[in-house]
Amino acid sequence: MPSPTTNSISSGGEVLVVGLVSVSDRASAGIYEDKGIPALADWLAGAITTPYRLETRLIADERALIEQTLTELVDRQRCHLVLTTGGTGPARRDVTPEATLAVGTREMPGFGEQMRQISLQFVPTAILSRQLAVIREIDGHAALIMNLPGQPKAIKETLEGLKDADGKQLVAGIFAAVPYCVDLIGGPYIDTNPAVCKAFRPKSAQRPPAA
């Protein structure tokens, strides 16, 4: 069932809408507790400093259902950003990338390349990951859809990147590029907490921090 969550929505301007989709046969059947959506929600709460609203979905590994869910989040709920977790490996039931490509209008290969680069710092099996990102555009509205890993630790590492003991960035996380991407496809301006993830924009695209 749809589960909207709000984080400090203000009355001025368009509010960022983020869709979170956890793809898991067993979690959606209640066999065990889903950890993907809570991990994503917790990370976003610390990383995004501008108002946003969450739309969450917990669904089974069924390609038609994944396509339907992604389409509904973008076309009806008007999400600007959709993050999925789970279903990106080589197993037969892992069909999240196929569903994502089916609903996308343009692929963004750099995100998948960087996700695997981050994971390879930890495990050689990262090359088995088929994570990717696309843009879906319809009726003048566009959203960035990204497939993320299934484990909470890997989700954080993928979004945030790798830092040393002093907090110096060693490998950039993918979320650093997300705010500018959302800018370019016509979405709301996203500010981030630089202690978690510093958004990168060209100087000409930067705005003063909100008061």
Token pair 């995004």 is at which residue? Answer: 48
User: CB–CB of 192/47 below 8 Å?
Assistant: yes
142's CB contacts (< 8 A; 6+ apart) are 80, 135, 136, 185, 186, 187
| Other CB atoms within 10 Å distance of the CB of residue 110 | 12
Full-prediction pTM beyond 0.95? no
The pLDDT of 91-99, averaged and rounded, is: 96
- Per-residue model confidence as pLDDT tens digits over 3-50: 555 454 433 468 999 999 999 998 999 999 999 999 999 999 999 999
What is the average pLDDT score of the chain? 91
Name beta bridge partners: 81.
18, 144
H or E segment and range at residue 20: strand 16-23
Q: Which domains does the chain have, with CATH numbers?
A: 3-205 (3.40.980.10)
* Structure confidence by residue, pLDDT tens digits, 160-191: 998 878 778 888 899 999 999 999 999 999 99
